[in-house]
């Protein structure tokens, strides 16, 4: 039987014609309670695996999360994210390829912007830049429209939540990003990306090489911090992991205990959600143990941080918003990737609208200790002429 597995043709001769998704997962040697499956464009709940037949030509996206919330014995044993095409694993050897940012102080500072100066920041992600003829894995028209609209916003910075290309190992997808984002370059926008699973899809080393070539200004750092006015951005790398005892966890702790006094807002930018709606908890086992551990760690340090803390994630191709005391959690994954329908929003989700799909971006207008946030959604994604509509507005207040 031949299927399309994470974008690559895969021949599985040992699978019988009557095979189910349960058989497929087992044949790949994966542990079922750590697997999320997308079958022909739809996330498939684990309860349906045994009664879902598979056929030659079926398309699968399979993500395998291995590990738990206990202390690590090494970088690779706490949490490994494997994109199953080989299978790829993200662990110790790869962590050695990237430099460690300075423990104290921002990795980068933006000159010419004072702490008292108003800021405009855009946050969004899961764009999946790839060839225009691929309108299944991403919507190329919406993707380009959002790029153009963000350029017109003229923000001081753009926070990207990961999965920038569709195939991170393919230089052609990164080149399409450079071509389609030409309006950003013309406006000299500051782009701050985080790595997602698609950024290393097809091979970690190749994906990181392409990432570094696309963003040479990041100087090879895969996680880093930026001070821009009264905003302090902490960007984390889910592809290397951040377990207890890891270099990235140590760096994060040092960053939070040495924040500049001028920082009114601390943004955490990473791909995998630290907090998400009930539906994805059930059908996709999100957040993973790694992200739950990271969330608990951030919360443990929150009482010592004299700033508003905002976590910005992607991966879920929709929009969600949660408040838990001092921390706000935002999921903004509507940059163009195949949309994810949320049939049921739990009571904790502050965003209640049922519209679908939610292609969108966020604009944060920061002035002093207040940040006014607006979610702009593509109102008519099937139309020949797009337009934006405001679907969420709220204000974040720093202590």
CB–CB of 231/122 below 8 Å? Answer: no
Predicted local confidence at residue 46, as pLDDT: 77
Reported as a single tens digit per residue, the pLDDT across 296-333 is 999 999 999 999 999 999 999 999 999 987 899 999 99
Q: What is the end-to-end Cα distance of the chain in Å, rounded?
A: 59
Say how far apart CA 65 and CA 80 lie, in whole Å: 6
Q: Tokens in use for 181?
A: 């984002």
Q: Within 10 Å of residue 219's Cβ, how many Cβ atoms?
A: 12
Name residues of the chain where pLDDT drops below 50. Answer: 65-93, 95-96
CB–CB of 361/332 below 8 Å? Answer: yes
Domain ranges of the chain: 2-67, 97-397
| Helix 140-153 with 171-180: angle, nearest 10 deg | 50
| Helix 247-257 with 289-301: angle, nearest 10 deg | 20
Predicted local confidence at residue 285, as pLDDT: 86
Say how far apart CA 260 and CA 326 lie, in whole Å: 18
Predicted local confidence at residue 37, as pLDDT: 82
Q: Which residues pair with 161 in a beta bridge?
A: none
Return the CATH superfamily for domain 97-397.
Metallo-dependent phosphatases (3.60.21.10)
Say how far apart CA 104 and CA 111 lie, in whole Å: 18
Predicted local confidence at residue 43, as pLDDT: 72
Predicted local confidence at residue 77, as pLDDT: 24
| Helix 171-180 with 204-214: angle, nearest 10 deg | 30
Say how far apart CA 42 and CA 8 lie, in whole Å: 18
Candidates 393, 390, 395; CA nearest to 371 is 395
Rg over alpha carbons for the chain, rounded to the nearest Å, is 20
CB–CB of 247/95 below 8 Å? Answer: yes
What letters, b where the CB count within 10 A reaches 16 and e where it falls short, cover 366-395? beeeebebebbbbeebeeeebebeebbeee
CB–CB of 337/360 below 8 Å? Answer: no
Does the domain at residues 2-67 carry the CATH identifier 3.40.50.300? Answer: no
Predicted local confidence at residue 68, as pLDDT: 30
> Which helix (H) or strand (E) covers residue 211, if one does?
helix 204-214
């Amino acid at each position: 039987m031949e299927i399309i597995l994470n974008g690559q043709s895969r021949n599985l001769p040992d699978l019988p014609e009557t095979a189910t998704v349960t058989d497929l997962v087992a044949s790949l040697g994966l542990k079922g309670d750590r697997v999320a499956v997308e079958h022909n464009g739809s996330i498939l709940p684990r309860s349906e695996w045994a009664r879902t037949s598979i056929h030659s030509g079926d398309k699968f996206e399979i993500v395998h999360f291995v590990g738990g919330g206990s202390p690590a014995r090494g970088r690779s044993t706490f949490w490994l994210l494997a994109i199953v095409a080989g299978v790829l694993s993200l662990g110790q050897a790869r962590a050695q390829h990237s430099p460690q940012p300075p423990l104290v102080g921002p990795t980068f500072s933006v000159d010419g912007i004072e702490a008292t100066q108003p800021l405009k920041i855009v946050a969004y992600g899961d764009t999946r830049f790839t060839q225009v003829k691929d309108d299944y894995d991403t919507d190329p028209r919406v993707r380009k429209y959002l790029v153009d609209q963000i350029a017109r916003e003229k923000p001081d910075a753009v926070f990207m939540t990961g999965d920038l290309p569709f195939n991170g190992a393919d230089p052609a997808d990164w080149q399409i990003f450079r071509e389609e984002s030409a309006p950003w370059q013309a406006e000299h926008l500051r782009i701050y990306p985080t790595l997602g699973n698609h950024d290393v899809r097809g091979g970690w080393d190749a994906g990181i090489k392409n990432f570094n070539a696309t963003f040479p200004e990041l100087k090879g750092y895969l996680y880093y911090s930026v001070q821009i006015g009264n905003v302090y951005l902490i960007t984390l790398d889910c592809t290397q992991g951040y377990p207890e005892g890891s270099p990235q966890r140590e760096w994060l702790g040092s960053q939070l205990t040495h924040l500049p006094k001028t920082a009114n807002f601390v943004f955490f930018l990473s791909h995998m959600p630290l907090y998400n709606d009930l539906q994805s908890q059930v059908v996709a086992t999100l957040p993973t143990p790694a992200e739950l551990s990271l969330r608990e760690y951030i919360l443990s340090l929150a009482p010592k941080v004299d700033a508003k803390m905002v976590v910005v994630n992607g991966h879920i191709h929709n929009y969600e918003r949660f408040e838990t005391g001092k921390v706000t959690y935002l999921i903004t994954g509507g940059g163009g990737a195949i949309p994810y329908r949320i049939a049921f929003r739990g009571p904790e989700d502050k965003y209640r609208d049922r519209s679908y799909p939610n292609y969108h971006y966020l604009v944060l207008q920061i002035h002093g200790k207040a940040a006014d946030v607006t979610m702009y959604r593509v109102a008519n994604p099937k139309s020949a002429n797009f337009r934006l509509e405001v679907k969420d507005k709220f204000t974040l207040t720093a202590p």
